[in-house]
Amino acid sequence: MASKKISVFFCQECGNETSKWSGKCPSCGAWNSLVEETVEKTSLKTRARTSDVKPTKLVDVTASNEQRISTNIEEFDRVLGGGIVPGSMILVGGDPGIGKSTLLLQTCQHLCRSNINVMYVSGEESLQQIKIRADRIGEFNDKLDLLCETSLDTIKAVVEREMPTVLIIDSIQTMFNEAVGSAPGSVSQVRESTGVLMEIAKGKGIAVFIVGHVTKEGTVAGPRVLEHMVDTVLYFEGDRHASYRVLRGVKNRFGSTNEIGVFEMRDTGLEQVKNPSAVMLDGRPENATGSIVTCSMEGTRPILVEIQSLVSKTAFEIPRRMATGCDYNRVNLLVAVLERMRDVKANRACGIFLGRSDIYVNIAGGIRINEPAIDLAIAIAIYSSEKDIPMDAKTIVFGEIGLSGEVRSVAMAEQRVSEAKKLGFQKAIIPYSNIPSVKNISGIEVIGVSNVKEAVDAISHK
Ligand code: TYD
Ligand code: MG
């Protein structure tokens, strides 16, 4: 086996490897994302005897009845698709300080209570620091092993000796594999380290959680490089200054990626939020203009959120547009739709002029929603702020808006209306074509609208 050191370039975004630097990654198209690293290239002379390799018939493969390990944290289990699959690799990504270590330490606590052996490897904190955090969270039993180590060779040896059921690596950016020359956190190091952990996971059937930091600058290799290697990718997100955190699946080989888990960061660690709607609507202003409640489906769960908008005369040449928690381009599109609004029955234009106004749209509570079903609420919030008319606090609206101002049907209308009714709402303005699916719900007035103008009229006349 011959080996030699060569210099290659890795893309910080997608992990693509090239031999030449260029301003744009040839694979993913990201600009200025290539960094130079030295790697050792080993040419393998020995090859497996290809004649011995035979494919297996699918019907002959026996999958042992999938035994999932419950974390006993309902919100976490839901995102995982019903619990931890033994031998799987789960990447938990998120901004520094969002609560990844806290979440995983709490998971350890719960797993240990069900007599599962867990090993928590930290490359970032000392034993004392982990202990201080653990004391805030609560009591731990003796099933949890801690290891402060960054060398993967050592970790591998310890894991093979102790054989925990669940292994936690906090974080992958601190891990160091001596076989790779580059610094911890570099793309090749992160990739190789994950490879070693993968071997442990698949070879020994140990479930491995990997923590990965995401940075905007890309000075450390973002966990995006790993996304294609691991089985499950979860992102822990939320505003660091607000207490709510959302755990979201973006890839899951063993479950749906739609589900979210909602947590609240308290001084005693993360608390599950069983009723996110009530939390998201907490502290809603009364009789304020530019505020309306909508319902978004997060996986199978309806969540009511307040959409806020502020429209004010601009002091600049080009007005400012800002969207927090929702898609910026979508907001621009909805502004255009409002400007071109038509009264279909009277066959005349009735748009509102927004070209000289700054427009800010915000989803209260720090949650991110990309579902088009909140379109109608965004449009109505903007309308309400521009016209200075407060919207009824007991009304919810939802519906997707098309380019000609039509309100299109959305999925799972019934669940959305039921959730609104459960939280005491009295009126729901929904797409006209969704009316048949909600006819069984009583106790809440349901109004179907087919275009933006109708929605605006419906909400303005109580
Ligand atoms: P941490 O889990 O260290 O974040 P990460 O591993 O993602 O970098 O959590 C960091 C924040 O959480 C920190 O700012 C303090 C806060 N926190 C609480 O508010 N309450 C608690 O009980 C704990 C343990 C942390
Ligand atoms: Mg941490």
For the Cβ of 136 lying below 6 angstroms from any atom of ligand 1, the answer is: yes
- pLDDT of residue 241 exceeding 80: no
For the Cβ of 268 lying below 6 angstroms from any atom of ligand 1, the answer is: yes
CATH code of the region 279-460: 3.30.230.10
CATH code of the region 69-274: 3.40.50.300
**What pLDDT, on the 0 to 100 scale, is given for residue 169?**
94
Q: What's the gap in Å between 100 CA and the centre of ligand 1?
A: 8
Residue nearest to atom 19 of ligand 1 (CA): 267
For the Cβ of 97 lying below 6 angstroms from any atom of ligand 1, the answer is: yes
Domain boundaries, the chain: 3-42, 69-274, 279-460
Residue nearest to atom 20 of ligand 1 (CA): 267
For the Cβ of 213 lying below 6 angstroms from any atom of ligand 1, the answer is: no
For the CA of 236, the nearest atom of ligand 1: 7
- Our CA dihedral for 410, 412, 416, 418, rounded to 10 degrees, sits at 140
In percent, the amount of the chain with pLDDT more than 90 equals: 55
Q: What's the gap in Å between 170 CA and the centre of ligand 2?
A: 7
**What pLDDT, on the 0 to 100 scale, is given for residue 376?**
96
Please say whether the beta carbons of 296 and 303 come within 8 A: yes
The pLDDT-based confidence of 451 (bands split at 50, 70, 90) is very high
**What pLDDT, on the 0 to 100 scale, is given for residue 217?**
54
- pLDDT of residue 41 exceeding 90: no
C-alpha 408 chain-centroid distance: 26
Q: What's the gap in Å between 268 CA and the centre of ligand 1?
A: 10
- pLDDT of residue 389 exceeding 70: yes
pLDDT tens digits for 300-358?
789 999 999 999 999 999 999 999 999 999 999 999 999 999 888 888 988 999 999 99
Cα–Cα separations (whole angstroms), residue 348 to 342, 343, 401, 450: 6, 5, 19, 16
76 CB-near residues (< 8 Å, 6+ apart): 103, 107, 247, 261
Q: What's the gap in Å between 63 CA and the centre of ligand 2?
A: 35
For the Cβ of 138 lying below 6 angstroms from any atom of ligand 1, the answer is: no
pLDDT tens digits for 98-152?
899 999 999 999 999 999 999 999 999 999 999 999 999 999 988 899 999 999 9
Average pLDDT over all residues of the chain: 88
Token pair in block for residue 35: 């960094």
Cα separation, 88 vs 80, whole angstroms: 11
**What pLDDT, on the 0 to 100 scale, is given for residue 43?**
55
250 Ramachandran zone, left/alpha/beta (phi>0; psi -120 to 50): alpha
Task: State which residues have CB under 5 angstroms from ligand 2, the bound ion.
Answer: 101
For the CA of 102, the nearest atom of ligand 1: 2
71-80, 238-247, 308-317, 426-435: least confident range: 238-247
Please say whether the beta carbons of 89 and 197 come within 8 A: yes
Long-range contacts, 318-324 (Cβ 8 Å, 24+): 319/354, 319/355, 319/356, 319/357, 319/358, 319/359, 320/358, 320/359, 320/360, 321/358, 321/359, 321/360, 322/358, 322/359, 322/360, 322/361, 323/361, 323/362, 324/360, 324/361, 324/362, 324/363
Residue with tokens 């600009």: 31
Residue nearest to atom 16 of ligand 1 (CA): 99
For the CA of 136, the nearest atom of ligand 1: 22
The pLDDT-based confidence of 189 (bands split at 50, 70, 90) is confident
Mean pLDDT of 388-412: 94
Q: 173 or 66: which carries more pLDDT confidence? A: 173
- For 459, phi and psi rounded to 5 degrees? -85, -25
**What pLDDT, on the 0 to 100 scale, is given for residue 35?**
83
The pLDDT-based confidence of 460 (bands split at 50, 70, 90) is confident
Please say whether the beta carbons of 190 and 172 come within 8 A: yes
**What pLDDT, on the 0 to 100 scale, is given for residue 218?**
44
- pLDDT of residue 2 exceeding 80: no
For the CA of 269, the nearest atom of ligand 1: 22
**What pLDDT, on the 0 to 100 scale, is given for residue 148?**
94
**What pLDDT, on the 0 to 100 scale, is given for residue 428?**
96
Mean pLDDT of 41-57: 68
3-state secondary structure of 285: coil
- For 353, phi and psi rounded to 5 degrees? -85, 120
For the Cβ of 373 lying below 6 angstroms from any atom of ligand 1, the answer is: no
pLDDT tens digits for 261-307?
999 999 999 999 988 888 888 888 888 899 999 999 987 789 999 99
**What pLDDT, on the 0 to 100 scale, is given for residue 71?**
92
Asked whether this chain's domains 69-274 and 279-460 adopt the same fold, the reply is no
For the Cβ of 267 lying below 6 angstroms from any atom of ligand 1, the answer is: yes
* Cβ-based neighbour number of residue 106 at 10 Å: 25
